[in-house]
A and B are shown apart, each in its own frame.
Chain A
Amino acid sequence: MSAGAWHYDPDAPPPKGLWSWLTTVDHKRIGILYGVSAFFFFLVGGLEALLIRVQLSQPESGFVDPALYNQLFTMHGTTMVFLVIMPGAAAFFNYMIPLQIGARDVAFPRLNAFSYWIFLAGALVLNFGWLIGSAPSGSWVGYPPITTADYTDVGSDLWICGLSLLAVASTAASVNFIVTILNFRAPGMTMMRMPVFTWMSLVVQFLLLLSFPPVVVGLILTLFDRNFGTNFYNVVGGGDPELYQHLFWLFGHPEVYVLILPSMGIVSEVLPAMARKPLFGAAFVIFSGVLIGFLGFGVWAHHMFTAGMGPVADSAFSITTMLIAVPTGVKIFNWIGTIWGGQYKINTASLFAVAFIVEFTIGGVTGIMHASPPVDLQQHDTYFIVAHFHYVLFGGAVFGLFAGIYYWYPKITGRMLSEKLGYWHFWITIIGMNLTFFPMHFLGLQGMPRRIATYKAGGYDWADTNLAVTIGAFILGFATLILAWNMWKSATKGERAGRDPWDGSTLEWVTQSPPVIHNFDKIPSVASEVPLWDVKYGGGSLPVGREENIHMPPPSIWPLWAAVGGAMIVCGIMAFPMFWITAAGAGLLIFSVMAWVVEPV
């Protein structure tokens, strides 16, 4: 890599070995890194869930003590949101957006690598507490005073610092994708011809960019209170912990759409491909996605109806919240309209897409219930809410990602997933998911609050229901192992996929499976929102031959070092301030960024 010597050879075999992964700037490899990390943490978060369920399977159980239980549910929530669904979606953003818009890579490939490494650093910081016996225990919302130094240990510092690193990762990635989507589209691909998955991803990037700043402010104020004696949330010192709740949910509600919109995008890709018919009312679907993102910033306080904001604020936030149901309903009906009159192919991907719609709808309508504050006063912080958001996040976001896995795995690996195992995975997941989460509605109505480590024997009739939920959770865990096995086995033994196994309409199906490093030999031009169908059925054509002098960026280790520096900065600030670590980290970060700037490209 001597100065000026980098030249990309499109015919060279793909690089191999650990070093090639540590230095990769290829959006596809970074996508795979995100995907593998997300799946690993899915297993970790799932294990935490199972431990929680064993504890709750019986009343007055002593399987884990409350201190450990509190760490388990805190980390389960944090892991599933930040280390599973977000990077799971990021895996598809990375892999698919450049392919879908006909680009060779993202706008800033090394920034992209940096995002991944700093994400991984954040994930490790979050989980570091397990090693020292003090994982975060302030719940995934981390309301002070419980997260201040008087009530929780170093786990809260780890939690704040880990999340801050993840915020850096998401912010850098969002800028990267916004620039990529706005500037790197193939000739002829107007905004309204862009695939809906890319559209929804674009909305998500804006949500990330705008919603992380408030929560990071909220977190840093907690960090200062904990370590530097400030009084932002210290009531005696004139502080106001309720401020944190506003800052958190100003992020937290848009975050819900960050989690669900990518899956809505995936489903909007899978349905038309399987129905052999374009997305019904694509413009309505796109604009309702944008509207959801927009309204998502005006509803945060519906998480705080019990905080006592007064009847006027309660009514206002209730109304804005219900409004979101309108664009969401539009999407659902348009998806049904896509299948209607089509020729819907039944396979695991298409089944998960339909299951997404059904389960997400259930989660959506329970959401309307607690959008009404008088109802929410009974449901808030109970298992009813736990049921609601698992329908949205598991039945919704995760099912969407599952559909995405079955749909795009052939593109990523060049091989099909086993449909037989896929069906097993699907049906066992459906049974497990509904057995786990549906009865939780009843627990909530019967008065069971969430986040309780134990409950009384007799008196409430919760025991049978809880046992059923636990059985459901284990069924769900088993289903996930089937998926893991399927992905593992099919990577080498699966049927060859070819370029276009689903008769797709979008540009990713033009490329080889897996695509070469530069994706396209020549960038195709686009004349409608279904460019590949134009080619296959409408007399359009693809360019032939290869462009001369394709330029691709060289691998670089500096993004990784920069991320290490970033991690050192926050680690030094925590619990027992060791500022030399912070200083060294800052030095490393600056040096790495300089090195990456002067590196020849």
Chain B
Amino acid sequence: MVVAVRTLVFGLITFIAGCGYENDQSAVNPFSDSARMSDDLYMFILYLMTGVSILVAVLIIYAMVKFRYKGETERPKQVHGHTLLETTWTILPCFLLIAIMVPTTKTIFAQQSPPPGDALRIKVIGKQWWWEYEYVETGVVVANELVIPVGQPIYLDMKSTDVIHSYWVPALSGKRDVQPWGNNMLQFTADKTGTYLGQCAEYCGDSHGLMRTRVEVKSKEEFEKWLAHQAKDALPPQDPKVATVLAQCNACHALRGVLPGRPRTKVSGPDLTHLASRGSLFSDLYTLPKEPEAKRLEMKKHLTKWLDDPRTIKPGVRMPGHGVTYPTPAEDRVRGVAPNALSIEPEVVEGLVDYLTTLE
């Protein structure tokens, strides 16, 4: 109870002071041209509308107090209306609305103008419940963490392979639905390096709330370095048993240089080639520590559990585990998984996990 009251009071103070907006997923803390346009417009309308609300509230409360019933026996003057007054308050709001509409329309067209020629084009694929990014020029494919250079226009070309998702990284841009029936675009130019958080904003099933993503905005040089590294293949595992097990993963995962091909189906999973180079696991469900050894241990812990029964970590996920048997699509059309289960001997699990943590 005490905790609740304390939190409540603290919370209220936070709202009134208007602070607490500086988290990495805030829509009112913009770090790109596009997000700033939305924010400027929002602030403008916010001030106007706060004025309107206060005007209405003050007028009505004043009227209620001033003209309250004080036991009079005579009824008040029976006024039926006042045409001039009514016409005035019909027309005045129109000016207010025009003041909003003009910058609105301008911003709409500015945000949706064709991308400039030097834009970095990235294909975004939304899937239950993770994101895939493909850098169009280089063909590099990564999952769940987008890395972009600061100051260069970014052009996202987005599509879903299953249900509707919505791509939203508030600090960089408003959201846009990611649909299975056609491509949608977003464009923006980030103006500050850093990490920004985002997540799927269109309800998409069991793990909708866990469908998150991170965007790393890096300097141009660092970005180029990162991209060159991601273009490299992974090294195959030393242990032949691990290599055998990995073949099972190929039904859904790509591991460039180790597993053939890069299947991309409705059920396929993230590219694992540089899994350990990321700052998080399972679409930012777990953020990993920066310090290498701590990071390795964290990864090991989570991956071991993941390979055993992924749905305890992410409900409904379409990856089989070796410790469980999920229903097949024939048994459960909605949550079924094929193939039935991974078969990994217990003594190979650790080797497999260790191998995954080396995929820098």
Contacts and interface: CB of A to CB of B under 8 A. Distances in A.
Interface of A: 65-67, 70, 139, 143, 145-146, 149-153, 235, 239-242, 274-278, 280-284, 306-308, 310-311, 314-315, 318-319, 322-323, 325-326, 329-330, 332-337, 339-346, 354, 357-358, 361-362, 365-366, 368-369, 372-382, 438-439, 442, 444-456, 459-461, 464-465, 467-468, 471, 537
Interface stretch (B22-30, B130-138, B145-153, B249-257): B22-30
Given A323-B97, A354-B61, 16 more contacts: A241-B181, A276-B76, A280-B81, A322-B100, A333-B86, A333-B89, A357-B60, A365-B52, A372-B42, A376-B174, A377-B173, A381-B166, A439-B11, A445-B28, A460-B23, A467-B7
Centre residue among A146, A368, A377, A380 by max chain B CB count within 10 A: A377
Contacts of A450: 203
Q: 6 closest A-B pairs (Cβ-Cβ)?
A: A377-B174, A452-B209, A447-B25, A281-B81, A365-B49, A308-B184
Nearest to B200: A449
Given A139-B203, A326-B90, A372 B41 contact: yes
B298 interface: no
Nearest to B184: A308
B354 interface: no
Contacts of A308: 176-177, 179, 182, 184-185
Interface in B13-59: 14-15, 20-21, 23-28, 35, 37-39, 41-42, 45-46, 49-50, 52-53, 56-57, 59
Contacts of A439: 11, 15
B172 to A, nearest CB: 11
Interface stretch (B64-72, B228-236, B289-297): B64-72
Contact of B23 (A277, A459, A471): A459
A311 B61 CA distance: 41
B105 A315 contact: yes
Contacts of A453: 208-209
Contacts of B333: 149-150
Interface string B79-104: 11110011001100110010011001
Interface stretch (B106-114, B119-127, B217-225, B271-279): B106-114
Interface in B158-185: 162-164, 166, 168, 170, 173-177, 179-182, 184-185
B351 interface: no
Given A276-B69, A325-B97, A374 B111 contact: yes
A452 B49 contact: no
B209 A380 contact: no
B265 to A, nearest CB: 12
Nearest to B57: A358
Interface residues of B, number: 100
A378 to B, nearest CB: 4
Contacts, number: 316
B28 A380 contact: no
Contact of A452 (B27, B41, B69, B208): B208
B4 to A, nearest CB: 6
B199 interface: yes
B78 interface: yes
A354 B23 CA distance: 37
B334 A145 contact: no
B20 A372 contact: no
Contacts of B7: 464, 467-468
A599 B63 CA distance: 56
B69 to A, nearest CB: 4
A444 B25 CA distance: 10
A385 to B, nearest CB: 10
A146 B11 contact: no
Nearest to A469: B11
A278 B80 contact: yes
19 contacts: A240-B181, A274-B69, A307-B179, A307-B184, A315-B104, A319-B101, A326-B90, A343-B72, A368-B49, A369-B46, A372-B104, A378-B38, A451-B209, A460-B23, A461-B14, A464-B7, A465-B20, A468-B8, A468-B12
